[in-house]
Structure 1
Amino acid sequence: MSRRIGFTGDVMLGRVVDDRQRRRPADAVWGTVLERLRGLDGLVMNLECVLSTRGRQWRRTHRPFHFRANPDWAVPALERAGVDVCALANNHVLDYGEMALRDTLAHLDEAGIARTGAGETLDEALEPAVVSVDGLEVAVVSFTDNTREFAADEESPGTAWIAVDVENETTRRRVRDALERAREREPDLLVASLHWGPNMIEEPPESLREFGRWLVEEGVDVVHGHSAHVFHGIEVHEGSPIIYDAGDFVDDYAVDRRLRNDRSFLFVLTVPDDGTPTELRLHPTEIDNCAVHEASPDAADWSRDRMRELSAAFGTEFERAGDSLVLSLGE
């Protein structure tokens, strides 16, 4: 028996998205992709906002953007899409201070949506999210190198912050701690979800490439990267896929007409009983009217061609299946 586990890029439900959603059904934010999401066996997202109506905008350091979504619609939206895990290690979980972060943690817990990467303390932020996907145990750990001032410590809430540097001893110790906690749960599939690197870059820098490969060598089965707002190429290292950046899945951002940050994919991993992924399927998506949709033919062509071009640098080749790209894993 195989399970199909989906991974998305950034899901930002605040600002204009939040405003639009107050006047339409909660699941409208998923547009024409909703049924595909609901048809998955598992779903992992990077949640790029807080779920709260409380708190004040972060002012301790300069922050140009602040993202907050009303949980009255946002939590039902996540539930209706069938979200299993939210990665929270990113540069927006403290946009409205500690109160809004605590609200976010509480709302996810109440909804039964597992979360990782942020918490009341660093210890909590390092705890894995562990879910059972039709009997397959999946553990997710989450880290970020963005916004160091949001880092949790032994006494303060925030993110599981790291320096993305394989030579950094604190980073190696922190990551290995989280991975060991995950392995103690005896998962069949171990995922590392990372909000890493700068915005609007077209390829991962060498530091991310080295780190992604190191994670696989440390036992991670799939690396789920995000942060750049545009998708990057995919590398397969020792049989494990490294999604260097999944791009944006839904938001209200201005669109760069060359980089097309409104276009990406739903990444669907096929995992059999033994926990060894056999296939990664990429379904083209695009953002319109603050909702995610199945990509139009022209947008899908552009995204497929771009993904092939970016992934060729890693020796990665895809097959075509309908509108999707298919990457076979293993032998």
Structure 2
Amino acid sequence: MAVTAIASHTKSFVQKLLQANPFWIQSCYFFSLSMAGFLLLKILPLRDATSKPTNVDLFFMSVSANTVSSMDAMEMEMFSNYQLVVLTLLMVTGGEVFVSLLGLHFAKIKSQMKDSSPDVSGMELATLSENHADLRHQKPNRMPPDMTVLDMKSSSRKHLFFVVLGYLIVLHVVGFLLILVYLRLVPDAGAVLHRKGINASMFSIFTTVSTFANCGFVLTNENMVVFRTCSGLLLIVIVQALVGNTMYASSLRAVIWLLKKLTKRQEYDYLLNNYGEMGYDHLLPGPHAFDHILTECYTAMVDNGLSKEMLL
């Protein structure tokens, strides 16, 4: 009885949460994480015990990390490794890809609850013909004979969730390993961290997360200026910034296309052809994704040209 009551209350809470205004949900999400981050930063010891930052400074750093705004009120070399772990988690949970993943997860739960509701199932069957009419405006999908449109849509949404989750994890792991290996192989880069007493592993994961989330925090007080001669490290950081931010939508579509070719799963074909039904803003149609790549490349070349002219 107790388990049933808990399950019932949990389901009721989730239903109310899904019906709430997204603005208030996100506001509570970011405020709660920022407050938790502030408390942890205050409790955990600083690297320099003589430093006495104010509560406003610590709260500002917590909010800045969670909202990936890259504004700091303290020198990064003041924080201990434990505090850096807190800032890293704040950047992960505040990054665009992670937040969109949470939205995708809630959309999946909402869809499952909607499909399981007896009051809604009749409406779904009544509008099934309208769904087929809408699909005729998009590319056809070869669905298995035992799978309906609703089943394919639900399965495709699940696949999209795990694709985004895998994208997030794999790129963070790869970025961390690339930076760590570079620091080991290039003495000049490793010497900078050794001179400042910064752990190479912590620097690698922190820089990867910060760059992917478009936060811009670096563990050195001079930011990336001290690595201006380390072109390999800068290239790694550039790629991380692109695939985690401006090129994310195009990269995501490329990953789904590759998975479709490798696995032959119909869900990936459905995602590519019926992107609008997923309710995921980062899933773009093919032409838009390609145009996005061209626009970013053109913008990068123009910025590079302007920078050279200013130096001359």
When normalised by structure 2's length, the TM-score is 0.22
Highest CA radius of gyration, 1 or 2?
2
**Structure whose residues are more often helix by fraction:** 2
When normalised by structure 1's length, the TM-score is 0.21
